[in-house]
């Protein structure tokens, strides 16, 4: 192989390398998580703690609704008694 052919072949491979390999490496850099990304990611424990907090809030809301329902029931019973007493007069 002559030196000219070798030089042309080297240029061809260098150009092909820069057109194909370099963009792929840049894409990999974009897709690869950095240390900062890993620190910012939520862990399984974080998600479990969040779920527990949400469930506790739901429980509090349910308890409050139960208490309000009981209060309404007792008020309705009082109204019935008052109506009965008034109607008996």
**Residue 40 in tokens:** 């910012």
**Does 35 lie in the same domain as 46?**
no
**Does 52 lie in the same domain as 35?**
no
C-alpha span between 49 and 58 (Å, rounded): 14
**Does 28 lie in the same domain as 59?**
no
Domain of 28 in residue numbering reads as 1-39
What pLDDT sits at residue 19? Answer: 85
pLDDT means per 10 residues in the chain (89 residues)? 83 85 80 74 87 93 84 82 83
**Does 74 lie in the same domain as 59?**
yes
**Does 64 lie in the same domain as 27?**
no
**Residue 10 in tokens:** 């080297």
Domain count, the chain: 2
**Does 46 lie in the same domain as 89?**
yes
Helix (H) or strand (E) holding 38: helix 35-40
What pLDDT sits at residue 77? Answer: 85
């Amino acid at each position: 192989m002559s030196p000219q052919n070798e030089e042309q072949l080297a240029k061809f491979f260098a150009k092909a390398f820069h057109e194909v390999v370099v963009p792929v490496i840049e894409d990999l850099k974009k897709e690869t998580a950095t240390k900062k990304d890993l620190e910012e990611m939520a862990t399984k424990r974080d998600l479990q703690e969040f779920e527990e907090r949400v469930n506790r809030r739901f429980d509090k809301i349910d308890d409050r609704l139960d208490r309000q329902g009981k209060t309404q029931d007792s008020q309705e019973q009082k109204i019935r008694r008052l109506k009965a007493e008034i109607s008996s007069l």
